[in-house]
Chain A
Amino acid sequence: MATMTSAITATSDTPARWQDYLQLLKPRVMSLVVFTGATGLVCAQAPIHPLLGAVAILCIAVGAGASGALNMWYDADIDAQMRRTRGRPVPAGRIKGAEALSMGLILSLLSVMFMGVAVSWLAAGLLAFTIFFYAVVYTMWLKRWTAQNIVIGGLAGALPPVIGWAAAAGEVPLNAWLLCAIIFMWTPAHFWALALYSSEDYEKAGVPMMPVVAGAASTRRQIFIYSLLFVPICLMPAFTGLGGVGYLSVAASGGLIFLVLAWRVMRSRAGDSADPRLDGRLYDVRAGAKDARNLFAFSILYLTLIFATLLVEAVMGLPAFLNLMPGAA
């Protein structure tokens, strides 16, 4: 505990640079959110002034960054104990926790208010809910309490396309929620694959990730079950008037690869044994963990590909493959 406290309260000799404040906003998460939010906005096929569309995306990005800052403020004790996160500005002592908190709160308010005034109050409400869900429900409650943390908490990461859709169309039809469902169902397989080869870090920090609580074998089984549910959902946009032939091809072929990789993870020994000699080399492959790493990497590629295909088809105005639910769009 003393180590934990000193890690959080320590101050670095290096003064905080603007890059440290940028790091508080988790720029890589922001880029993913911008991408999925923009896909929702474009797929809505609703007339919106380009400037207002850009403002909507900016607000989503800043809102995501704000919740990232709030997360780094609250989780500094956990971050200080994990190799992957101990270099973050708050646990490294470059930025005080109070600064991260105030930055998160101010940017949250600013992004929600600007979204409401400039674009749409429905989108602003959804953005406010997303920030609240990530910073309070996930970070302060679920993450330290249940092994289902990333399953339920995944909703926060899944909502940006719905916000984008609401910003453009002023409503959120079934297809918007379908995009949300795709990311929501993608999250468990993605994060548990990562957790399989970094579970000691979570265990040391006291975070009840699935491999820590239920064991590696159960996690590998659950990854495969979630993958079986995830892939059919990825195909659905092709039948609800959202995705075209290209989308169906990408989603089906990628989905098949996804299932094969998830099957391999289930059959592997990923997460069973940890080799302490590899301490400090988080992303090195331990015996049996190669399959988990492959699934982790491919999950990112697959999600990127299906959203990119939807985006391209919407921009080019390509026809949908089939629309079995005329009211979905």
Chain B
Amino acid sequence: MSEPDAPQDVPAKPPSNPPQQDPIFKARRGRNIAIALGLITFAILVFLVTVVRLGANVLDRPL
């Protein structure tokens, strides 16, 4: 008959990386920023193209 194991200190779980340092988090953050920049650029382009295409015609419309 063996003696029951003596209680041992449970080794503390090593602290996991903060989410900001997680590679998945960093990759997702990079992708989100890229998509945001793309969408913002697209919206600005659509606005500027609209202004250019309308041109002086805006002033010609009946009031």
Name B residues whose Cβ lies closer than 8 Å to a Cβ of A. Answer: 23-24, 27-28, 30-31, 33-34, 45, 48-49, 52-53
Contact: A18 with B49, CB < 8 Å? Answer: no
Residues of chain A within 8 A of B27, CB atoms compared: 14-18
Chain A residues closer than 8 Å to B49, beta-carbon distance? 51-52, 55, 117-118
Question: Which applies to chain A's interface (DSSP): helix, strand, loop or mixed?
Answer: helix
Distance, CA A96 to CA B42, complexed state (A) = 25
Residue of A18, A49, A51 with most chain B CB atoms under a 10 A cut-off: A18
B62 to chain A, nearest CB (A): 25
Q: Is the CB of A15 within 8 A of B52?
A: no
> Within the complex, what minimum Cβ distance (angstroms) separates A9 from chain B?
20
Q: Is the CB of A15 within 8 A of B28?
A: yes
Count A-B contacts at CB 8 Å. Answer: 31
| Chain A contacts for B30, CB-based, 8 A | 17-18
Contact A52 B24 (CB under 8 A): no
Interfacial chain B residues near A21, Cβ < 8 Å:
31, 34
CB nearest to A117 among chain B residues: B49
Interface residues of A (CB under 8 A from B): 14-18, 21, 49, 51-52, 55, 58, 117-118
Whether the pair B34, A18 counts as a contact (CB closer than 8 A) is: yes
CA distance A186 to B26 in the complex (A): 43
Contact A49 B52 (CB under 8 A): yes
Nearest-CB residue, chain B, relative to A50:
B52
For B22, the closest partner residue in chain A by CB is A15
Pair A15/B23 contact, Cβ less than 8 Å: yes
* Residues from chain B with Cβ under 8 Å of A14 in the complex: 23, 27
Given A14-B23, A15-B23, A15-B24, check contact A51 B31 (CB 8 Å). Answer: no
Complex interface: chain A residues within 8 A of B31 (CB):
16-18, 21
The minimal Cβ–Cβ distance linking B23 to chain A, given in whole angstroms, is: 6
Q: Which residues of B contact A15 (CB under 8 A)?
A: 23-24, 27-28
Q: Using Cβ atoms and an 8 Å threshold, which residues of chain A touch B24?
A: 15
Q: Which of chain B's residues have a CB closer than 8 A to the CB of A117?
A: 49
A51 to B49, CA, bound (A): 7
Interface contact B34-A52, CB-CB below 8 Å = no
Q: Are A55 and B45 in contact (CB under 8 A)?
A: yes
In the bound complex, CA of A21 to CA of B27 (Å): 11
Q: Write the chain B residue with the least CB distance to A54.
A: B45
Residue contact A51 to B34, C-beta cutoff 8 Å: no
Q: Are B34 and A118 in contact (CB under 8 A)?
A: no
Q: Which residue of A lies closest to B50 (CB)?
A: A118
Please indicate which of the listed interface residues A14, A117, A118 has the most CB atoms of chain B within 10 Å of its own CB.
Answer: A118
Highest count of chain A CB atoms <10 Å: which of B23, B31, B33: B31
Q: Is the CB of A51 within 8 A of B52?
A: yes
23 examples of A-B residue contacts, CB within 8 angstroms: A14-B23, A14-B27, A15-B23, A15-B24, A15-B27, A15-B28, A16-B27, A16-B31, A17-B27, A17-B30, A18-B27, A18-B31, A18-B34, A21-B34, A49-B52, A51-B48, A52-B49, A52-B52, A55-B45, A55-B49, A58-B45, A118-B49, A118-B53
